[in-house]
Each structure stands twice: as C-alpha cells, then as structure tokens.
Amino acid sequence: MESRPMMAKKNVIAAGATGAAAVVVVGVVGVLGVTGADAGSGFAIIDPGGKCVDVAGASRADRTAVQLFTCNRTVAQKWTIEDDDSVRALGKCLDVTDGSTSDGAKVQLFACNDTPAQKWEVNHGLLVNTGSGKCLDATDWGWADRTRLQVWTCTGASNQVWLLPLEVPADPTATPPAGPTVGLPADPTDDPTGDPTGDPTGGPTTSPATGEPATGAPTTSPTSSPAPDPTVGPTAPPAGLDPGVAPGGNFDLSTWHLELPVGSPGRPDVIPPSRLRGPDGYVNPAYFWTDKTDGSMTFWAPERGVTWKESRYPRSELREMNPDGSAKYWAKAGSHTLSAELRVAQVTKNVCVGQVHLGSGGPSMKPLLELYYRPSGDIYIGMENSPAGGQTLHKVGNVRLGDRWSYVINVSGNTVNLTVNGKRTSYPIPSSFNQYKHFFQLGAYNQSVSSNSANGARVKFYSMDVDHR
C-alpha cells in the first residue's frame, strides 16, 4: 500500500462530549498526526461495543498480545500516536507480528523500530497498517475480554471501527470528565422492558410483543460502520438542531427505547429511555448518532448484524415506550399520530422508516403497517392483511435518494391515514385486528441481509412527533 499524502490535522469533540471528554481524529483520509505531547498521558482506543484496546497484563515485554478488554483507565490502555505514525503504549509500539501482510496476522507490542509493521493511518474510523494495507480487526468478530486483535482486509465492519482516540485522565483513579457515554453498549443489567419484535416468516416486519429472551437468531456478530454520506456538504444544521449534542438533546426520547444490531444472538442490545434522554444521552458512533453537519438523528442498520429471533433483519430503531420505561400499547379507538421529516442517505434494497406494530391482545407478532423506502426513491406502505400475515403494498410517492421528505401516519378507529409530502391516502383496518393494541416504531429497519457488512441503510431524521388523543 502506498503511503497516502499527509493531510491537515483536524480534531473535533465527540458527540455530546464536554470539556476534554473526547477527541476524535477525523478526515477523509489522513495520517494520524496526534503526538505524544498532544496526547499527554495517553488515550483510550475504543470499539463500538465499548471495549478498549489493551496490552495484555500491562506487560512491557516484546511480543505481548494486544487485545480487547473492559475499559479500566490503566496504563495498559493509554496510547499515544506519534509524528512517525506509530501507535505507542508502555514505551513500545503497536506492531504486526513479523511484519506479516497476511489476513489474520496478530498485533502485538514490540520495541519501536520504524518499520512498516508499526505505521498506521486513520481512514473514516478504521486504523490501517500502512505496511500491509490491512485494518486493525477484532478476531472472529469477538467482543469478549481478551479477544486478540489482528490485521485483516478492510471491510468497514464494526469490528474494524474505532473511536480514535478518547482521552483519559492522567491519574487512573481520577473521576472521568462529565459528558455522555459514547459508543458504549447497553448495560447488561438493563431489562429491555418490552417487546423485541419480528417476523418469523422473513417478511418485511418487526418485533414481538413479548419480553421473552430471544434465541436462535443468526450468529453474525455486530456489523458495519456506514460509509461517509456523499450527498451531504458542510451545510448549516436546521434551526433548532444542535450538532454538538446527543440525539436526546434535539429530540424528546423520554418515551422511546433504542434497538441496535449488536448484542447476543437473538437478543439485540436495547437502550432504555433513561439512557437516551437529554443532550448528554446515549450515542453509538456506528449505529446511532447526531450528524455533525446538519444535526440530524442518524440511524445505521447494516445487512449483517444481530436480529431478534423472530426477524431476519437487523435494525437501529426506536420503539415507543411509556415515560416510566414500560412498554407502550394503545387501542385503535381515538387518534394516534406519528409524524417525521427525514431523508434516506443510503439503502441497499429496502428500508422501513416507520411502522405501527401489534402489541398486546393476541399472539401475533406482525405489524399493522410498515412504511418502506427503496433506492429508486419509491415509497410504499405495506398494510398487513391479517394478524396471521400477508402484506399488500401501495405506492405512495417517490423522493430522490438523499432528498428530504415527510410523513404522517395516523390511526383513527378502523382507518389508517398516511400523508407523504402533503399527499394523503387512507386504508381500512380489517376487523381481525380489533383485539390488538399497538405501538409506533421509527428509524432504520433494514429489509435485506447479506454477508457484506458495508451494505445497509442510513436514515437521518430532522423532526419527529407522536400524539395520542
């Protein structure tokens, strides 16, 4: 791999961070360019699951394994990035074993020797070894403590995506700076409190109305980080959206939980409302974040990821909840409205951007309706024929990929009213749904799967509102 040209350094504060909480190196392609003097006592390098790049046993011996480990702010996890493009900890360099250029070559700590095996560059969150042209990679999609790191052909998958770097205090016992938790997984003690949902038939639907532990989902590990959005320039954010805060600072997320395409097989991570709300709320740099150019709440759902046991498809999606964190259900009586302004920046085949899902009242885990967007720009509503399944599609509009548009989904009694960019259509609800209560979902629920974790759907929301009467 030829050395890429040096680019000007550019540091930005990570989403929602305050003070020195987080510094992320960005740029289309650039040499790392953060020196030990700049870095002070060092930085943590963190994967999307919240684990840190760690020197095993804090050993300074040559050929010590470099691994993932729970972040602990010790010297084994404090890295500096030098002007010679080396990445250093404990006075030694991050090194590809024996200078190998093969996939699967393990990464270790070794005496600095200025060889290509110790030269690294940042490229959209990837850490690329310039000697091999391959990316720092968590072996076998591992997320557990002591997962070895290696180099592998760059895919952009989430096991190759890193927060580069996150600053830690000089004193390992010091209190972390104020600010949000960036990119950390759901607390394993958090109960999803409702209703992972999905479609056992593999049709375009979503989550069940039970809180049972999900099993038997595909064993694919967490997935890819999205490619940069070529349709977005450095434009000012819409009025009222602050690009410097977490999504919960721009949107009221106190009555939503977030379902992610990472976690245990069959049981994706779920982030409760208590962690989403407010300007210092939850951010995941791979799957759920505030866009720095326009302030939008951005969701990335790859084709390869963890799914609920009832669904084939990964999602990064909000699910309606009550203010106390319990699952929200509402009857068709009255008027229930979900409205949003959004744009789809990337989609492979089809993505659901909003839905009304069946909840309590019966055994079905189907949706009542789903709103789909396709790469052609065509927008469809899929109306479920009955709780047993089967869906009828109705084309309701066309918006060019990357352009902004709006929708309003309203359920009033036995009728669904849908408005897309001001054009309203209505659909009767079959009587077979009468026994069910419902809930809204919104985000990126991808409708295709593959082994290519760079494929998927990226959806950006500029406004959203829910009203129940």
Structural domain range at position 353? 247-468
Query: Is residue 137 in some structural domain?
Result: yes
Helices (H), 247-310: 247-250, 273-276
Q: Are residues 148 and 258 in the same domain?
A: no
Q: Are residues 129 and 276 in the same domain?
A: no
Query: Is residue 360 in some structural domain?
Result: yes
Distance, in Å, from the CA atom of 128 to the CA atom of 107, rounded to the nearest integer, reads: 12
Length of the chain as a residue count? 469
Query: Is residue 354 in some structural domain?
Result: yes
Distance, in Å, from the CA atom of 171 to the CA atom of 34, rounded to the nearest integer, reads: 20
Say which CATH number the domain at 307 has: 2.60.120.200
- The pTM is what? 0.56
Query: Is residue 209 in some structural domain?
Result: no
Say which CATH number the domain at 57 has: 2.80.10.50
Residue-level pLDDT at 239:
58
**Position of tokens 């480990």?**
69
Residue-level pLDDT at 189:
26
370 three-class SS: strand
Residue-level pLDDT at 41:
64
Residue-level pLDDT at 64:
97
**Position of tokens 């940042």?**
122
Distance, in Å, from the CA atom of 416 to the CA atom of 149, rounded to the nearest integer, reads: 51
Beta bridge partners of 297: 290, 461
Distance, in Å, from the CA atom of 72 to the CA atom of 283, rounded to the nearest integer, reads: 20
Domain limit, last residue, from 145, 167, 189: 167
* Of residues 380, 327, 320, the one with CA closest to residue 349: 380
Q: Are residues 145 and 35 in the same domain?
A: yes
Query: Is residue 36 in some structural domain?
Result: yes
Q: Are residues 131 and 252 in the same domain?
A: no
Residue-level pLDDT at 353:
98
Count of C-beta atoms within a 10 Å radius of residue 326: 11
Residue-level pLDDT at 374:
96
* Of residues 310, 315, 206, the one with CA closest to residue 259: 315
Show the tokens assigned to 379. Answer: 């927008």
Residue-level pLDDT at 182:
30
Transcribe 85-129 into DSSP letters: S-EEETTEEEEEGGG--STTPBEEEE-----GGG-EEEETTEEEE
Angle at CA of residue 167, ends 137 and 66, nearest 5°: 30
pLDDT in 10s for each residue of the chain, 469 residues: 332 222 222 222 222 222 222 223 332 233 333 333 333 468 889 876 678 999 999 999 999 999 999 988 899 999 988 889 999 999 999 999 999 999 999 999 999 999 999 999 877 678 999 999 999 999 987 778 999 999 998 876 667 878 764 333 333 333 333 232 233 333 222 222 233 333 323 333 333 222 222 323 333 333 333 443 433 333 445 558 999 999 999 999 999 999 999 888 888 899 999 999 999 999 998 899 999 889 999 999 999 888 887 788 999 999 999 988 899 999 988 999 999 999 999 999 999 999 999 988 888 889 999 999 999 999 999 999 999 989 999 999 999 999 999 999 999 999 999 999 999 999 999 999 999 999 999 999 999 988 777 789 999 999 999 999 9
Query: Is residue 377 in some structural domain?
Result: yes
Amino acid identity, position 308: W
Residue-level pLDDT at 306:
87
Transcribe 308-347 into DSSP letters: BTT-SS-EEEEEEB-TTSSBP-B-SSSEEEEEEEEEEEE-
Q: Are residues 156 and 58 in the same domain?
A: yes
Q: Which residues contact 60 (CB under 8 A, 6 or more apart)?
A: 90, 91, 92, 109
Q: Are residues 127 and 266 in the same domain?
A: no
Query: Is residue 185 in some structural domain?
Result: no
Residue-level pLDDT at 162:
82
Q: Are residues 305 and 422 in the same domain?
A: yes
Domain limit, last residue, from 140, 167, 194: 167
Distance, in Å, from the CA atom of 404 to the CA atom of 231, rounded to the nearest integer, reads: 11
pLDDT, tens only, 104-143: 999 999 999 999 999 998 776 789 999 999 999 999 877 7
Beta bridge partners of 30: 122
Residue-level pLDDT at 117:
97
Angle at CA of residue 124, ends 122 and 129, nearest 5°: 35
433 three-class SS: helix
Query: Is residue 379 in some structural domain?
Result: yes
Q: Are residues 261 and 121 in the same domain?
A: no
Residue-level pLDDT at 124:
65
Q: Are residues 275 and 424 in the same domain?
A: yes
Contact (Cβ atoms closer than 8 angstroms) between residue 51 and residue 70: yes
Q: Which string of b and e fits 197-220 if b means at least 16 CB within 10 Å?
A: bbbeeebbbbbbbbeeebeebbeb
What domain count does the chain have? 2
Show the tokens assigned to 193. Answer: 């409190």
Domain limit, last residue, from 148, 167, 186: 167
145 three-class SS: coil
Q: Are residues 135 and 279 in the same domain?
A: no
3-state helix, strand, coil in the chain (%, to 5): 5, 40, 55
Contact (Cβ atoms closer than 8 angstroms) between residue 439 and residue 330: yes
